[in-house]
Structure 1
Amino acid sequence: MTNHIKWANALSTRPSLEAAVEEVVERASLSLQASADLAVVFISSAFSSEYTRLMPLLQEILSVPVLIGCGGGGVIGVNRQGEVQEVEGEPGLSLSLMSLPGVNVRAFHILPEALPDLDSAPDGWVDLIGVLPQAQPQFILLADPFSSSINDLVQGLDFAYPGSIKVGGLASGTSVGGSSGLFCNYRLHREGTVGVALSGNIVLETIVAQGCRPIGQPYRVTEGERNVVMELEEQTSEDFAVCGKSRKPLEALRDLIQTLNEEDRMLAQNALFVGVARDEFKQDLEQGDFLIRSLLGVDPRAGAIAIGDRVRPGQRIQFHLRDAHASAEDLEMLLKRHQKQTPSDPAAAGALMFSCMGRGEGLYGCPDFDSRLFRRYLKDIPVGGFFCNGEIGPVAGSTFLHGYTSVFGICRQP
């Protein structure tokens, strides 16, 4: 008997749901060659009218005790040729099977009304999940974008399980307001969050590629309220305790745009973002140290800017640009960093990929970009995933909901 984690994935693009289910179960089971403890399934929204049929079909031929999954605008998996493939806007079914010896696997379905108050003690969250913090569980979370209170959930889980990794994504469809599908233990749910807590003989590592590159220099927020930045201070020295003159954010931004080349200036018109530094004490901020948030608007009279997150005085921010080139560069840099920092033994068993619907072929102009780049660095490991309406992953030790991001959860043994 082997006590190694084993992982297999199969992707089917057959237009008949029965045929797709048969293919992924047969290929993934054959590849795993062990009894599976967990199944993770992603179904493309091209099948949305058939979501109700997926669980009965799987239950008939799959004998895995725990299953979670959801619907997505596209799915990602390993095709018949052994290549990782991203299927967007077409019928697709991706099934990952995992044999997890020495791992406690606990699935859950949580409705927003069941969430404890954010001021309550960690015990409320622990009761909700049913796993003690001492077990140091790792979480995979799949949520409905409209009915899950996902920000409150990840905040509560960070509070109750500090240091535990949480990755996942929001179910997505093709039509706005179309009902999403969430799956937990062979049942279909239309709202809330489904997930699994994995504890014991397992490590989940993450790569969170937000797809942006910094421009200009970091500033310190000297005046801000809610999500509005009203005044900034330039950092004029390596010692970030020493700051320069105060400025209006809009004035600083206008000056910065003057220094950009023609291409970046064009890009700044519709792909400008704000990075909020997560580590208050890190002196030299680099790519990956920022939580990327949208620039929501400007107030020309007050010279203020509004961003898609709360800000407070003392925080450091830096303007960022996003395009296909920056996105590819960002992911490659993070993959190289991951390769340098992680031991090659034991090798990673498999990975889940949660990618924004705004990436993929629409961003890069060619298919399978992120997944193939990932496989170049983590060779031949099975990858399963989907295109999300929002991606869940950690930045500097706290979990956030992202946009335009690819989050990878890489699984290996301790």
Structure 2
Amino acid sequence: MSAFISAHAGHADWTIAFASCREQVDRQLQQGQNPNLGWCYLSDYYAKAAGSILAALRDAMPGLHWVGAVGVGVGAGAVEYFDEPAMALMLAELPPDSFKVFSALETLQACSGFEPFAALVHAIGATDVAAQLKALSERTASGYLFGGLSSSRTQALCLADDVLAEGLSGVAFSSEVTIVSRVTQGCLPIGPQRAITRAEGNLLVTLDGARAIDCVLEDLGLDPDLSDPELNGALAATLVGLVTTSEDASAKPGQFGANTEVRHIVGVGRKSGVLAIAETMENGMRLAFCQRNAVAAQQDLLRIVGEVRAQAEAAGGMRGALYISCSGRGGPHFGARHAEFKMVREALGDIPLIGFFAGGEIARHHLYGYTGVLTVFAGPA
């Protein structure tokens, strides 16, 4: 696998940012190197110009397939462009026939010489995204998807050799492309993992046979007689990590596994002892209460970056990386501007790294929120 190349720039005029990115790419291109796949992430300030930008990319760098998305922010290296006009590019020369760009679920079919193993997915938010992700996952040999939903204050858009305003799109990779990926939940469990013994829709009635409210009070170390305002304040800062009955719930103590979906507590019935959760639940699912804060987010992010780096280096080395974070995590959540991408860059080292701030993050066949998904392309040079 050849060296990856990345470039980024911000400017009110996209043509000036594009010219800067092209100069950066030209400066890094090595003799004999012929990239065949490119990633392009645009902040939503450039959404209206997405078609013109894609055309300019094709003219300047013919022979490449392009995938990407629009987000409220983009990142590259240790720099975040949040709520400002910018673009981030990454190019790679992958083995011939080792990838396939798709613009809809139906277009990703196994064909002669290519079997999808894993896929980068960009999507436009819709009510059936979860079902589409599951169907797409089933068309890959590993079942592993990674990516995110376009986020925009104007128009959500994705790129897949064209500008798309709906559906799922992206690029599938064969097993010839080594990919190492992890999701960071940005929070840590504060209590034991419990079994849901009674749930009705989004209402959590009992855990391990006990009233849900008694369990959360116990795990938070709160007095059962605290006032309603104190209870509401504590629950507003508390979330739940859910694992479905059909998936492996294993994780190291004090950590969430990759199959955990974190959801908010949205209501409480003090007399009934019921908690309302922003997700439909079923009896038999596993649940742990958790809290999200800057310290927990930093600890969990550094943990998954370390795991990814170790696995990628064992596979021959890191070539390039994508980091897709929730738009709700950027900026102050990590203490300062640029802090999140800076942490990833410093922990990974000096390799091409780009990404965007999404309206929902994809890992395996799950759609997450308030998470970060790091994916590294690995293998010998």
TM category, shorter? 0.7 to 0.9
Partner of 2:303: 333
Aligned-pair distance for 1:214?
Answer: 0.9
Task: Name the CA distance, whole Å, in 2 between partners of 1:359 and 1:267.
Answer: 21
User: How does the TM-score come out when normalised to structure 1?
Assistant: 0.81
Give the direction of change, closer, same or farther, for the CA distance of 1:300–1:103 in structure 2 (3 Å limit): farther
Report the count of equivalent residues. Answer: 367
Please, which of 194, 200, 203 is the counterpart of residue 219 of structure 1? Answer: 194
Please, which of 84, 95, 98 is the counterpart of residue 101 of structure 1? Answer: 95
**Counterpart contact for 2:235–2:265, Cα < 8 Å:** no
Can you list the C-alpha shifts for 1:119-159, whole angstroms capped at 9, x where unaligned? xxxxxxxx641226983422111111147x32112111222
Aligned-pair distance for 1:223?
Answer: 1.1
SS at match of 2:103: strand
Partner of 1:170: 149
**Counterpart contact for 1:103–1:200, Cα < 8 Å:** no
Partner of 1:315: 285
Partner of 1:374: 344
Q: How does 1:120-135 map to 2 (within 5 A)?
A: 128-131=107-110, 135=115
Give the direction of change, closer, same or farther, for the CA distance of 1:266–1:207 in structure 2 (3 Å limit): farther
Partner of 1:46: 45
SS at match of 1:160: coil
Task: Name the CA distance, whole Å, in 2 between partners of 1:227 and 1:285.
Answer: 27
Task: Name the CA distance, whole Å, in 2 between partners of 1:280 and 1:202.
Answer: 26
Q: How does 1:251-290 map to 2 (within 5 A)?
A: 251-259=214-222, 268-277=234-243, 279-280=247-248, 282=250, 285-289=253-257, 290=260
Please, which of 11, 25, 46 is the counterpart of residue 28 of structure 1? Answer: 25
User: How does the TM-score come out when normalised to structure 2?
Assistant: 0.88
Q: Which amino acid aligns with 1:251?
A: D
SS at match of 1:349: strand
Can you list the C-alpha shifts for 1:152-204, whole angstroms capped at 9, x where unaligned? 1211122232524211111111x2xx32122221x222211221111142111
Aligned-pair distance for 1:15?
Answer: 2.2
Partner of 2:169: 194
Q: Which amino acid aligns with 1:85?
A: V
Partner of 1:403: 369
Partner of 1:122: none
Give the direction of change, closer, same or farther, for the CA distance of 1:271–1:277 in structure 2 (3 Å limit): same
Is 19-28 or 324-333 further displaced after alignment?
Answer: 19-28
Partner of 1:144: 124
SS at match of 2:316: coil
Q: Which amino acid aligns with 2:82?
A: E
Please, which of 2, 5, 13 is the counterpart of residue 5 of structure 1? Answer: 2
Aligned-pair distance for 1:284?
Answer: 6.2
**Counterpart contact for 1:39–1:97, Cα < 8 Å:** yes
**Counterpart contact for 2:109–2:139, Cα < 8 Å:** no
Partner of 1:207: 182
Task: Name the CA distance, whole Å, in 2 between partners of 1:15 and 1:352.
Answer: 25
Partner of 2:226: none
Partner of 1:63: 62
Aligned-pair distance for 1:253?
Answer: 1.6
**Counterpart contact for 1:76–1:85, Cα < 8 Å:** yes
Give the direction of change, closer, same or farther, for the CA distance of 1:393–1:102 in structure 2 (3 Å limit): same
Aligned-pair distance for 1:232?
Answer: 1.0
Task: Name the CA distance, whole Å, in 2 between partners of 1:222 and 1:269.
Answer: 21
Task: Name the CA distance, whole Å, in 2 between partners of 1:128 and 1:358.
Answer: 32
Q: Which amino acid aligns with 1:389?
A: G
- Structure 1, unmatched stretches of 5+, are 79-83, 116-126, 234-245
Q: How does 1:334-353 map to 2 (within 5 A)?
A: 334-353=304-323
RMSD: 2.6
Q: Which amino acid aligns with 1:9?
A: S
Task: Name the CA distance, whole Å, in 2 between partners of 1:283 and 1:214.
Answer: 11
Partner of 1:179: 155
Can you list the C-alpha shifts for 1:234-279, whole angstroms capped at 9, x where unaligned? xxxxxxxxxxxx211012223333449xxx9997343311012465
Give the direction of change, closer, same or farther, for the CA distance of 1:265–1:95 in structure 2 (3 Å limit): farther
Task: Name the CA distance, whole Å, in 1 between partners of 2:210 and 2:232.
Answer: 24
**Counterpart contact for 1:201–1:413, Cα < 8 Å:** no
Task: Name the CA distance, whole Å, in 1 between partners of 2:373 and 2:252.
Answer: 24
Aligned-pair distance for 1:283?
Answer: 8.4
SS at match of 1:312: coil
Aligned-pair distance for 1:291?
Answer: 2.6
- Structure 2, unmatched stretches of 5+, are 224-229
**Counterpart contact for 1:6–1:100, Cα < 8 Å:** no
